[in-house]
Amino acid sequence: MFVRANINILKWESEFFKRLIAKLDFIDNAKIISIYQLNQFDIVQVKIDSCKKVMINKLEKIGFFFVDGEINFLLKIGSGNIFFNNTLFKTDNIDIAKHSDIDLLCKAAEVVFNKSRFCEPWYSKKDSGRFYALWIKKAVLGEFDDICLLIKNSVGVILGFVSLRDIDINTARIGVLAKIPGMYSENIGRKLMSAAFYWCLQHKKKYLNIVTQVSNIAAMNLYLRSGAFITSTEYWLYRGYNDSI
């Protein structure tokens, strides 16, 4: 079974997870990859459009396994969106996360994002939480995403957080969105979406990109209710050094 692709080393992920990790990129005129080449890495990743059944079948036959699926949403930004009207109460406060918030947000991320595509047996049990804790830290510092917004109650307690990245003049993207574990205030997810939406309005964005796992039904329902629509679905497949062929 022949698969043509480039094998590109993911340097940052390899250093962070302490494994040699690569990703397949399908481009025109790429060479046929060999099992020997794949075996040089602890993990080889593929992100592929879910409609490409023939290629997915080929990848499975050379040892790749389905790990997770992603759904991509697009939300058009406009002042007439009914979903966000009256979502935020007078007692709710939108704030920009500061350096002093990092410890709390990192601890929350380790708990909330403990299940993702960074899962066993390819990654260790705590790797997912570590990854997203670093993500939110970098978002607060403006080193990965550009900003992290917080929803706080009337006494300043953080209820949830959402990070945003400025993609281009018209587009922003949500990085991570979650409520703080143990917080049960009403409609935290909707309020976080409102915070992201109004940030986009203030910065004259026309579109907001959002990605979530196929298993996250609550998030999908939230985004659909907000007026976002699905643009594509993709699968993550992995091949480890010890995966059978």
Catalytic annotation, pick one of 123, 132, 223, 235:
223
Instruction: Note if 235 is an active site residue.
Output: no
Query: What number of other Cβ atoms are within 10 A of residue 153's Cβ?
Result: 14
**How far apart, in Å, are the Cα atoms of 153 and each of 89, 136, 150, 186, 213?**
9, 20, 10, 11, 28
Query: Longest Cα pair distance anywhere in the chain, in angstroms?
Result: 61
CA–CA gap between residue 88 and residue 226 (Å, rounded): 14
53, HSE (Cβ side, Cα atoms, 13 Å)? 1
Output the CA angle 92-211-166, nearest 5 degrees. Answer: 70
- The three-state (H, E, C) secondary structure of 100-147, written as one string: HHHHHHHHHHHHHCCCCCCCCCCCCCCHHHHHHHHHHHHHHHCCCCCE
Whole-angstrom Cα distance, residue 183 to residue 153?
Answer: 10
Q: Which residues are catalytic?
A: 223
